Amino acid sequence: MESLGVGILGFGTVGSGVYEIFKSNSQIIEKRAGKRIEVKKILDVRDFSGHEAESLITNNFDDILNDPSINVVAEMMGGVEPAFSYAKKALEAGKSVVTSNKALVADRGAELIKTAKDNNVNFMFEASCGGTIPIIRPLNTSLTADNIIKIEGILNGTTNYILTKMTAEGRSFAEVLKDAQKLGYAEADPTADVEGYDACRKIAILSSIAFGGTVDYNDILTEGITKITHEDIEYAFEMGCVIKLIASSEFKEGGVCAKVTPCVISRNHPLSSVNNAFNAIFVKGDMSGETMYYGSGAGKLPTAAAVVGDIIDEVRNMGSFIPTSWDIDKKISVLSRDMASIRGFVRVLINNKVEAEKSIDHIFGKVAFIDAGFENEIGFVSGVETESTMSDKLSSLGQCSGVEKIINMIRMEE
């Protein structure tokens, strides 16, 4: 039986998971791919002396690029460079590229798909969104009879783990983050996760496929979870709700409304029960209605399984470009945030309750007050406002008599 070679770029968590899966599941992989697949070389600058894969390690990308026995390059280095240059060179050399790197795909995906197409190979990235969850391929090959209307979900495992623990254990963001770092659920520099940048890139990628044109992640309203406190979570509890970091993207006339923000969602909302490092993605189509996809959003073997699934698909389709719904010649605008209306849960620090309530009534009209038992503050749910009206009203309220300052505003998801 013919054998095909894989080169791995980056022997970290996911990269070593890919190596392990090829070892432990070689039989079923060979059966499904119809060919033997072997890891031939691994690029990593670190020292792996004594590791069973030691003989495969190289610190020179050219060793992989120039190895004619390597047909597929699996990139798990993270970041845009040098991942982009390596991926581009590999594609130009007639090797398919498979990646779990959302930063790379969100930033240079269209260009790499074009390079793949020009060279009759493939650029695949199932593992870049939703970890192990099959979502890229279902969008590209199953939900094809639909005009997709909306995508919404929990796309970041780290923040979902942190919010789950904050909710269950009543601890602060900083405390839980520290534990998450110790346990390997959060990186030493957690910025990309906790500030929402990671989820932002993922919703941009999913939107590009679902709506059929490149969506620029730079234009997506992105807010992380660093300002979420245990008090916010207690208010949510009072309302029969939890707080989740929700990424959403909705197709409208002329573009998409897309955002990544913490949201107060009802405990009846199906995303409310997605906990720990799990992800879940809802897709709404005009024919299929709502479908949902759920699974591990992170983790060594689950993410690596998605990478290996892509490699198997590539091996089955060797020599032909697999169509994608992402039209690389088309750009889809992210619409002004004022195209979207929101209801906000607002917390206000006060020095005079009667005055503050009068001010709130004056500026926001009828609101629903929420009492979670905290002193010197008022919590309320606003009516529906555009993003900019909300922002203006909060500024005004901050200046009013009786009000010390606006503590927080969290969007409500209905």
Q: Active-site residue numbers?
A: 202
36 counts as binding its own copies under rule CB under 8 A: no
Task: For its own copies, give the closer residue by CB, 308 or 390.
Answer: 308
State which of residues 58, 111, 212, 221 lies at the interface with its own copies (CB under 8 A): 212
Q: In the structure, how many helices (H) and strands (E) does the chain have? A: 14, 18
Task: For its own copies, give the closer residue by CB, 51 or 269.
Answer: 269
User: What angle (nearest 5°) sits at the alpha carbon of residue 162, between those of residues 221 and 79?
Assistant: 55
Q: How far apart are CA 257 and CA 248, in angstroms?
A: 8
State which of residues 48, 114, 134, 149 lies at the interface with its own copies (CB under 8 A): 134
334-355 in b/e form (b: 16+ CB < 10 A) is bbebebbebbbbbbbbbeeeee
Contact status, residue 286 vs residue 146, Cβ threshold 8 Å: yes
414 counts as binding its own copies under rule CB under 8 A: no
321 counts as binding its own copies under rule CB under 8 A: no
State which of residues 109, 153, 302, 344 lies at the interface with its own copies (CB under 8 A): 302
With CB under 8 A, what is the number of residues at the site for its own copies? Answer: 51
State which of residues 12, 34, 79, 383 lies at the interface with its own copies (CB under 8 A): 34
To its own copies, the closest distance from the beta carbon of 212 in angstroms equals: 7
Of 75-94, binders to its own copies (CB under 8 A) are none
To its own copies, the closest distance from the beta carbon of 307 in angstroms equals: 8
Helix ranges (DSSP H) in 197-299:
197-210, 230-238
Could you give the string, one character per residue 57-76, with x where binding to its own copies holds by CB under 8 A and - elsewhere? Answer: --------------------
301 counts as binding its own copies under rule CB under 8 A: yes
118 counts as binding its own copies under rule CB under 8 A: no
Contact status, residue 98 vs residue 73, Cβ threshold 8 Å: yes
Q: Which stretch binds its own copies (CB under 8 A): 67-75, 84-92, 179-187, 295-303?
A: 295-303
To its own copies, the closest distance from the beta carbon of 323 in angstroms equals: 6
Q: How far apart are CA 266 and CA 225, in angstroms?
A: 18
Half-sphere exposure for 190 (CA within 13 Å, toward CB): 22
DSSP per-residue codes, 199-227: HHHHHHHHHHHHTTSEE-GGGSEE--STT
Q: Which helix (H) or strand (E) holds 362?
A: helix 353-364
313 counts as binding its own copies under rule CB under 8 A: yes
Contact status, residue 137 vs residue 122, Cβ threshold 8 Å: no
Q: How far apart are CA 42 and CA 25, in angstroms?
A: 19
State which of residues 70, 113, 162, 308 lies at the interface with its own copies (CB under 8 A): 308
Helix, coil or strand: residue 345:
strand
304 counts as binding its own copies under rule CB under 8 A: yes
Q: How far apart are CA 150 and CA 140, in angstroms?
A: 15
Q: Which helix (H) or strand (E) holds 305?
A: helix 300-316
Of 247-286, binders to its own copies (CB under 8 A) are 270, 273, 280, 285-286
Q: How far apart are CA 146 and CA 132, in angstroms?
A: 24
14 counts as binding its own copies under rule CB under 8 A: no
328 counts as binding its own copies under rule CB under 8 A: no
Contact status, residue 263 vs residue 411, Cβ threshold 8 Å: yes
Q: Which stretch binds its own copies (CB under 8 A): 111-119, 141-149, 150-158, 232-240?
A: 141-149
288 counts as binding its own copies under rule CB under 8 A: yes
103 counts as binding its own copies under rule CB under 8 A: no
Tabulate helix, strand, coil % of the chain (nearest 5).
Answer: 40, 30, 30
State which of residues 65, 149, 221, 292 lies at the interface with its own copies (CB under 8 A): 292
Q: Which stretch binds its own copies (CB under 8 A): 29-37, 80-88, 160-168, 373-381?
A: 29-37
Residue 109, token pair as written in the block? 């995906």
146 counts as binding its own copies under rule CB under 8 A: yes
28 counts as binding its own copies under rule CB under 8 A: yes
To its own copies, the closest distance from the beta carbon of 324 in angstroms equals: 9
The candidate with the shortest Cα–Cα distance to 152, out of 234, 272, 233, is: 272
β-pairing verdict for 377-386 and 341-350: antiparallel
Q: Which stretch binds its own copies (CB under 8 A): 103-111, 127-135, 199-207, 240-248?
A: 127-135
Residue in this structure with the two tokens 């929700």, named with its chain if needed: 246
The binding site for its own copies (CB under 8 A) comprises 21, 25, 28-29, 31-34, 126, 132-134, 137-138, 141-147, 212, 270, 273, 280, 285-296, 299, 301-302, 304-306, 308-309, 312-313, 316, 323, 325, 327
